[in-house]
Amino acid sequence: EAGVTQSPTHLIKTRGQQATLRCSPISGHTSVYWYQQALGLGLQFLLWYDEGEERNRGNFPPRFSGRQFPNYSSELNVNALELEDSALYLCASSLGQGKGSYEQYFGPGTRLTVT
């Protein structure tokens, strides 16, 4: 069974540009979560989607946004990139059914570098 996949593996952008990160959940999972892990910092929750709806949002500015498609894959968009957005962006999925779960399965992440 395929795990959570993310693309691209690495992304280099300049300040002010926009970045789009993609995630495909495990087959059968309807919940997708996005996290940011900056160097030396812990895991920071960004967004939770389930059944196409945004269910919860972390303490991040509105320039961090996303969506979930009918096939449950998801996209994270970061507008007006700042240097401090450089981090590993992790996507996780779980069985959802509208309730979410703490049993989350993570992808390998996208390393975003903003120069």
41: number of CA atoms within 13 Å, CB side? Answer: 14
What is the sign, positive or negative, of the torsion defined by CA atoms of 48, 49, 55, 60?
positive
Residue with tokens 């693309």: 7
Q: Answer yes or no whether residue 72 interacts with another protein by CB under 8 A.
A: no
Binding to another protein, residues 27-56 (CB under 8 A)? 31, 33, 35, 42-43, 45, 48, 55-56
**From the list 23, 104, 112, 114, which residue makes contact with another protein (rule: CB under 8 A)?**
104
Which token pair is 57?
């949002």
Applying CB under 8 A, the residues found at the interface with another protein are: 4, 31, 33, 35, 42-43, 45, 48, 55-56, 58, 88, 90, 92, 94, 99-109
